[in-house]
Every structure is written in C-alpha cells, then in structure tokens.
C-alpha cells in the first residue's frame, strides 16, 4: 500500500514556500520583461541615430558636433546616458557584440563621450574621449586644438595644443609666449570595453 504524506496547506512552512515561489516566478518574469524592453529600446535608438562614418573627427574648439538626437530625460534615454541635457551623435560601425554610441555632455563646449551597450541593453562601458582644455583659459589664446578621432579599427587619438600669450605686470611689463599640449590614445575592444590613456600637460618644444 502506497503511503502519501499529508500536506498541511495552513502550515507556516507551506505558506512561506508558496509565497516565495510566487515572488520568484514574478521576479523572473519582471527581469525578463525589463531586459526585453532595454534591448528593444537600444536597437530602436540605434536605428534613429544611424551609423557614424569613420574616421570620425571632432575638435571641441572648432567644430559643431553632429547631433542627431537630444537626450530626453522623460524617456528610457536616462537608463543609458548620464547627462540629461546632453545629445547623442552617431553609432559606431556595428559589431557583433555591442552598440557604440558617441554622445556629448554640455558645458562651455560639447564634450565627447563613448557609451557601449550589449545587444541585451546592458551598459558595458562609458568613457570621456575628449581632453577638454581649450575653454576657461586665463591667457590670451592665439590658437587652440582639442581634437579626437576614431579610425576604422576603433582606435582613438586625442590631442590638445594651446598657443597664447600672457602679460606680466612686473617692474618692466612684458609679454610671455605660452604653448602647452596633451596627447591621449585609446581603443574600443571587441568586447566593448573602452580603454583610454591620457597624458600629462607638457610644454611645447
């Protein structure tokens, strides 16, 4: 004769198990829904902004950015972009693993950033790709370059160079020429990581 144990549906253990199971299943469905929503949204955003042709070149001091969409703080944009007053440029040439967005933070200029997101809508990395030193100078600037470029291999080159002069009010007033520069390099890996190295401020030769 088969013995079937009786289950007390009113016991604390049974109630706990039932409630826990419901919450677990609900959580799984919620997480799946959230992932699907992020994935759908980021794919749609990629279509809207379109591909950025490479080589990409931008000079903070000279060029207006190629803005294709303003960041909407009342939309899912805020899940991915950290400046609600900023704007989105183009999409790096498509890769098999991720989307790469160029976007701009607003200050005294439009400062360029890179954002990489996997195909499920999860952020991989986010980095500044500008040096941003031409603004706010206390010298009389004669010329200033603050550029970034990205080539077909998704390698990043950055250069800042400022030439100017400053008046020294000493016992004998005089004018001093100034030239400073910084360089930087980086790349976007096949996994979507953004590796950037920026040098120190140096005096031109």
pTM for this entry:
0.79
User: In this structure, what is the dihedral angle of CA atoms 69, 73, 76, 77, given to the nearest 10 degrees?
Assistant: 40
What is the three-state SS of 114-176? EEEEECCCCEEEEEECCCCCCCCCCCEEEEEEEEEEECCCCEEEEEEEEEEEEEECCCCCEEE
pLDDT recorded at residue 61:
86
- With 80 as the cut, is the pLDDT of residue 112 above it? yes
- Predicted confidence band of residue 35 (pLDDT cuts 50, 70, 90): confident
Residue 29 included in any domain: no
With respect to residue 103, please indicate whether it lies within any of the assigned structural domains: yes
Mean per-residue pLDDT, 156-176: 88
50 close to 90: Cβ distance less than 8 angstroms: yes
Domain count, the chain: 1
Span 89-104, pLDDT tens digits? 999 997 788 999 999 9
Do the domain assignments include residue 33?
no
Q: Which has the minimum average pLDDT: 66-70, 96-100, 137-141, 182-186? A: 137-141
Range of the domain at 89: 42-203
At 95 the pLDDT is 75
Q: Given a cut of 90, is residue 190 above it in pLDDT?
A: yes
Most confident of 48-57, 106-115, 129-138, 173-182: 48-57
- What's the pLDDT score for residue 36? 78
Residue 19: inside a domain? no
């Amino acid at each position: 004769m088969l013995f079937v144990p009786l289950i007390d549906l009113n016991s604390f253990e049974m109630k706990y198990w039932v409630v826990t199971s419901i919450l677990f299943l609900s959580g799984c469905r919620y997480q799946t829904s959230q992932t699907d929503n992020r994935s759908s949204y980021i794919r749609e955003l990629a279509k809207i902004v379109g591909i950025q042709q490479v080589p990409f070149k931008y000079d903070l001091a000279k060029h207006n950015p190629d803005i294709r969409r303003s960041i909407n703080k009342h939309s899912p944009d805020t899940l991915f972009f950290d400046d609600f007053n900023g704007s989105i440029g183009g999409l790096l040439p498509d890769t098999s693993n991720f989307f790469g967005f160029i976007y701009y933070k607003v200050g005294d200029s439009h400062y360029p950033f890179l954002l990489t997101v996997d195909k499920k809508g999860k952020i991989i990395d986010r980095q500044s790709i500008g040096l941003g030193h031409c603004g706010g100078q206390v010298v009389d600037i004669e010329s200033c370059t603050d550029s970034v470029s990205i080539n077909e291999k998704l390698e990043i080159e950055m250069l800042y160079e400022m030439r100017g002069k400053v008046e020294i009010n000493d016992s004998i007033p005089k004018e001093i020429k100034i030239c400073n520069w910084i360089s930087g390099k980086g790349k976007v890996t096949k996994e979507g990581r953004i590796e950037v190295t920026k040098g120190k401020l140096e005096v031109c030769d």
